Amino acid sequence: MDLTTFFRENSKAAVAFSGGVDSSYLLYAGISAGADVTGYYVKSAFQPMFEYNDAMRLAEQIGARVRVIEVDVLADERVRQNPSNRCYYCKQAIFGNILRAAAEDGYTLILDGTNASDDEGDRPGMKALKELQVRSPLRECGLTKDMIRQLSRQAGLFTWDKPAYACLATRIRTGEEITAEKLAATEDSEDFLFSLGFTDLRVRMRGKDALLQVPSSQFAKVAEDREAILAKLKEHYEKVLLDLEVR
């Protein structure tokens, strides 16, 4: 089955829309197939502002309807305490809110952007999606991440080469409490590094220190911008460490 066939058979659906490569292409495909689709963007402390901006920009580009839902993910202690299955509880909260909002708008079918490259065994959140009966058309149609990027490029979507970006909560070690302050420090630090021209980066919290992860091809740039990086990140962290094991 291809996506056109999927949307012919499922012509009315709500799309969990993050502004990333996968959900952007899924929303575009639904619109292109003539389906009645609306994107639902969940705005929370786990999502950096640039993701919201990208989502709104993409929606405008393809003429998509998008409803923004604000969710306080840290209100759930099971999420805040950051256990190994935190993603399960977080997905329950996020998709529970999407389900309720979509029902208000007349949608009973909820779709997400999980693709055929995603490892189901390594994603606790997928259990929550199954329980909530969320469908993943990209996965059902056998579309891998590389295929989705290629199709997105052909469609002219600016998201085609957007780097993967896991939520801000992943920067905090499992078992360590997640707070709004820690998330804000991460977002501020990563935004600064993006502004310097770094790409595909992470600033991970290790106690009171920052562990900077960038592609090895950008190590020389870290050295060039060392003083600026230290000055900025030491607003939030005691030490700044570079992960030399990143390739």
The per-residue pLDDT for range 205-228, each reduced to its tens digit, is 999 999 999 999 999 999 999 999
Can you give the pLDDT at residue 121? 58
Q: Looking at the domain assignment, is residue 130 inside a domain?
A: yes
Q: Looking at the domain assignment, is residue 174 inside a domain?
A: no
Last residue of a domain, one of 161, 194, 228: 161
pLDDT(42) > 60? yes
Q: Does residue 95 sit in the same domain as residue 212?
A: no
Q: Does residue 96 sit in the same domain as residue 31?
A: yes
Q: Does residue 192 sit in the same domain as residue 157?
A: no
Q: C-alpha distances in angstroms, 125 versus 23, 63, 114, 177?
A: 16, 29, 11, 19
Give the lowest-confidence range in 2-6, 124-128, 203-207, 239-243.
Answer: 124-128
Q: Does residue 207 sit in the same domain as residue 124?
A: no
Q: Looking at the domain assignment, is residue 20 inside a domain?
A: yes
Instruction: Give the DSSP H or E segment for 190.
Output: helix 180-195
Can you give the pLDDT at residue 247? 76
Q: Looking at the domain assignment, is residue 169 inside a domain?
A: no
Task: Tell me the sheet residues that pair with 211.
Answer: 204, 241
Q: Looking at the domain assignment, is residue 71 inside a domain?
A: yes
Task: Look up residue 74 and give its DSSP letter.
Answer: G
pLDDT(194) > 90? yes
11-41 confidence digits (pLDDT tens): 999 999 999 999 999 999 999 999 999 999 9
Last residue of a domain, one of 128, 161, 194: 161
Of residues 47, 53, 57, the one with CA closest to residue 190: 47
Q: How far is CA 90 from the centre of its chain?
A: 13
pLDDT(120) > 70? no
Cβ distance 97 to 136 under 8 Å? no
Is this prediction's pTM over 0.85? yes
Range of the domain at 185: 179-242
How many domains does the chain contain in total?
2
124-159 confidence digits (pLDDT tens): 778 888 888 999 999 999 999 999 999 999 999 999
Q: Side-chain half-sphere of 238: how many Cα atoms within 13 Å?
A: 4
Can you give the pLDDT at residue 127? 85
Torsion of CA 12, 15, 19, 23, to 10 degrees: -90
Q: Looking at the domain assignment, is residue 235 inside a domain?
A: yes
